[in-house]
Structure 1
Amino acid sequence: MINNISLWKPRPIAENKILVAAIAIAGVGAAQGILNSFDVFGSKAMTEMLAFLACSRLLPNEPRRKWSPRLCTGLIAIGLLLGAIWVLFIGFPGRHETNFPQLKEIPLKFYALGLVTSCIAAPLFEEKVVRHLLLDGASYYFGKLAATIGVSALFAAVHVDAIVPAFLLSVFLCAGMQFFNLNSAQRSVIHGLVNFSMLHWMIFYPTLRDFLQPTLGSPL
């Protein structure tokens, strides 16, 4: 009986996809709240990775392109390009309103945790739950366009400090699933590299500014 329970999977229908996504989102939020109350190190990365693995186990089937060196190169290039666009049009213009951390004040373990959380765990969780299960389920009832807008609006609402960029990124990643059959892991490469670019802009801009300012003679 225990073996049968462990092998059980819900039917891959729209209702179940939406239900699993909702449970995953609520469960991660509740688990993070509990673990944070005990100051558990890495609670966000831990809970999101576990939720991703659980959702992948329950509802693994999704459109996917075959992995290849060409695809990997393309995903990396797109992720870095989108990250550079964010730095150029959002990060750099908003530099005077941004509270940059000092590189020397960031312990190595927190830097490593930031990489794991923002570049691996969060992209995997968000792509599987939001832009696979939730998007797929909503598309069945409302159509692809309305589902894309709704899911992207929800994603943007969670990212309150970057609502417009988050919405546009989500629309782009939804299109990657719907028109190019990119699966959650493949979209996570793009998503993770965008986060990688944003993270390192925040960390290294003060050093770059201090290095270039004497040469340029004007504030960056």
Structure 2
Amino acid sequence: MTRWKPRPIAENKIFAAAIAIVSVGAAQGILNHFDVFGSKAMTELLAFLVCAWLFPNEPGRKWTFPLGLSLVTIGLLGGAIWVFFIGFPQRHETNFPSLSDVPLKFYILGLVTSCIVAPLFEEKTVRHLLWDGASHYFGRLAATIGVSALFAAVHVDGMISAFLVSVTLCIGTQFFNLNSAQRSIIHGIINLSMLHWVLLYPTLREFIQSTFGSSS
């Protein structure tokens, strides 16, 4: 079966990433039209598995406990920075749902999609295949800026933060030899922090108001 796989050269990686991103977008549009539950998770997971099968070889650091702890710490730090500089300052501009108002199946789906599947898909397609391919033609700096700008353009609700997160993860690829799975831990924990900030802020606000009697 290996003879059917494309050679791991720059143009093939760029082509595969582009096809995966476009295909996921088109498939999600079709499935959303029919109100298919979990369409984003299903399409992105399938695309990730296909890309991982086509291009399984990716440099990465050896898994160790200190590495895992470092990845979790960086993810928590990234989430805290987002809350401090973006989430909290924009709290009055955001329509926060209460955690109690979110059905359990949607909460679980949100966790799986935003904290596991989406990071795996985006790290494999954007910061492995696309970044690696673009680096071959344009150099690592230009590739980092280019793929991060593309990543930001897709995340229209938080373009600046998405750009900075992408740059950080590209640095993880370039200077620390982190592979897609390792970067996904950082990415997923940042998303986990953002998700729970949105869901838990109403409870936090009520606690502050009842405790200190002031508006937050």
TM-score (norm 2): 0.98
Question: Equivalent of 1:13, from 1, 4, 9?
Answer: 9
Instruction: Tell me if 1:25 matches 2:21.
Output: yes
Compute the displacement of 1:7 (Å). 5.9
| Conserved 8 A contact 2:153-2:159 | yes
Counterpart for residue 39 of structure 1: 35
**Equivalent in the alignment of 1:113:** 109
Match of 1:67 in 2: 63
Return the alpha-carbon distance in structure 2 between the equivalents of residues 116 and 79 of structure 1. Answer: 17
Match of residue 206 from structure 1: 202
In structure 2, distance between residues paired with 1:218 and 1:105: 25
Superposed counterparts of 1:19-168, under 5 Å = 19-168=15-164
CA deviation vs aligned residue, 1:133-176 (integer Å, no higher than 9, x gap): 00000000000000000000000011111111110100000000
Task: Tell me, in whole angstroms, the C-alpha distance in 2 between the residues paired with 1:66 and 1:7.
Answer: 28
**Alpha-carbon offset, residue 8 of structure 1:** 2.1
Question: C-alpha deviations, 1:111-136, integer Å up to 9, x for none?
Answer: 00000000001000000000000000
| Pick aligned residue for 2:215 from 209, 215, 219 | 219
Greater Cα offset, 136-145 or 31-40: 31-40
After TM superposition, where is structure 1 displaced by more than 6 Å over at least 4 residues in a row?
Answer: none
Of 96-105 and 172-181, deviating more is 96-105
Q: Deviations over 1:60-85 (max 9, x none)?
A: 11110001100000000000010011
Gap regions ≥5 residues in structure 1: none
Alpha-carbon deviation of 1:186?
A: 0.3
2:182 is the alignment partner of 1:175: no
Q: Mark the runs of 5 or more structure 2 residues left unpaired by the alignment.
A: none
Q: Partner amino acid for 1:67?
A: W
d(CA) in 2 for partners of 1:52, 1:179: 24
User: CA deviation digits over 1:161-194, x for unaligned, max 9?
Assistant: 1111110100000000011110000000000000
Q: Identity over the aligned pairs, expressed in percent? A: 74
- TM-score (structure 1 length as normaliser): 0.96
Q: CA deviation at 1:218?
A: 1.1
Q: Distance in 1 between matches of 2:25 and 2:67?
A: 33
Deviation at 1:50, TM superposition (A): 0.7
How many aligned residue pairs are there?
216
What is the rounded CA distance, in whole Å, between the counterparts of 2:163 and 2:133 in structure 1?
19
Q: Give the drift of 1:102.
A: 2.0
For residues 99 and 28 of structure 2, the distance between their equivalents in structure 1, rounded to whole angstroms, comes to 27
CA RMSD of superposed structures (Å): 0.9
CA contact (8 A) 2:208 2:214 kept: no
